[in-house]
């Protein structure tokens, strides 16, 4: 059996962490390779880690064919959908995969539009049937996260250093905090990552506080000012009443002693 490894497909999905890889290896050694590797012709499209481990330890495995693809993009879209359906994939990984799908579908739509504008007639293929994926809500729905989370993941992809990306992938820092830290210069990002979880959280807190202090104060309308003064006066009266009540309770306790 000839199995070809396409390096672009191997690198398309984020690699397993060291712990995840070790757990998979232990499972294969104990139980064998129960799930078949998926091939497109001779090209391996699902099961790269299992294939590596099985070859190294001479563990028997089976293969199945998926011949429904007409181009490498079709394979990539299938790989993305396959991983998005898995429960073990983190929110960050799902967001990244959904954004990759958006890029592929957007490129296909643009290519299809160019064909329509050109002399050749548009071909009917997987790209023509694909959803538009032209809004952040489309991506968020596929990733099963909020639109705000997708925005934060986009920010991380654009400005975060590799060290910060690795930290959010491993769960050392949340997506929200990582997007905040990603606004810092690269040297400060890497210094925060080197300091560990507490240093990352502190860096995110400092960025938020700086943004809050730089935010202009909201002007208060005259009617709003009157209402605020009335509320302050009412609160002061409540405080005075509670203070008197507290003093009376103290006297009662003193007398009881």
Q: What pLDDT was estimated at residue 213?
A: 80
pLDDT along the chain (257 residues), means of 10: 91 86 96 96 95 96 94 93 87 93 87 67 45 76 92 95 94 95 95 94 92 70 68 79 70 62
Coil, helix or strand for 226?
helix
Q: What pLDDT was estimated at residue 116?
A: 67
How many CA atoms, within 13 angstroms, populate the side-chain half-sphere of residue 164? Answer: 32
Q: What pLDDT was estimated at residue 126?
A: 44
CA 75 to chain centre: 22
Coil, helix or strand for 40?
strand
Q: What pLDDT was estimated at residue 129?
A: 47
Q: What pLDDT was estimated at residue 253?
A: 65
Residue 39: beta bridge partners?
Answer: 44, 65
CA-based nearest residue to 92, from 157, 43, 46? 157
Integer CA distances (angstroms), 180 to 3, 162, 191, 211, in order: 44, 15, 15, 10
Q: Which residues of 135-148 are buried (b: 16+ CB within 10 A; e: fewer)?
A: ebebbbebbebeee
Q: What pLDDT was estimated at residue 110?
A: 82
Q: Enter the tokens of residue 239.
A: 């405080």
């Amino acid at each position: 059996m000839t199995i070809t490894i396409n390096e672009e497909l191997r690198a398309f999905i984020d690699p397993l962490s060291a712990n995840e890889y070790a757990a998979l290896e232990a499972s294969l050694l104990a139980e064998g390779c129960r799930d078949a590797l998926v091939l497109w012709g001779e090209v391996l499209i699902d099961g790269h880690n299992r294939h590596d481990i099985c070859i190294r330890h001479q563990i028997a495995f089976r293969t199945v064919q998926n011949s429904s693809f007409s181009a490498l993009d079709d394979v990539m879209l299938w790989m993305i959908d396959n991983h998005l359906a898995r429960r073990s994939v983190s929110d960050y990984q799902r967001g990244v995969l959904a954004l990759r799908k958006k890029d592929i579908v957007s490129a296909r739509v643009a290519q299809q539009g160019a064909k329509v504008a050109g002399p050749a007639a548009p071909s009917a293929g997987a790209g023509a049937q694909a959803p538009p994926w032209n809004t952040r809500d489309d991506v968020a729905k596929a990733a099963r996260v909020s639109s705000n989370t997708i925005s934060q993941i986009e920010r991380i992809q654009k400005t975060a250093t590799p060290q910060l990306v690795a930290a959010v992938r491993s769960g050392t820092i949340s997506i929200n905090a990582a997007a905040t830290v990603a606004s810092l210069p690269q040297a400060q990002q890497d210094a925060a990552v080197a300091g560990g979880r507490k240093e990352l959280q502190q860096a995110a807190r400092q960025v938020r506080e700086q943004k809050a202090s730089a935010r202009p104060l909201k002007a208060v309308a005259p009617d709003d000012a009157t209402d605020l003064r009335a509320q302050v006066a009412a609160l002061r009266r409540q405080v005075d009443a509670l203070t008197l009540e507290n003093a009376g309770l103290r006297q009662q306790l003193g007398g009881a002693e």
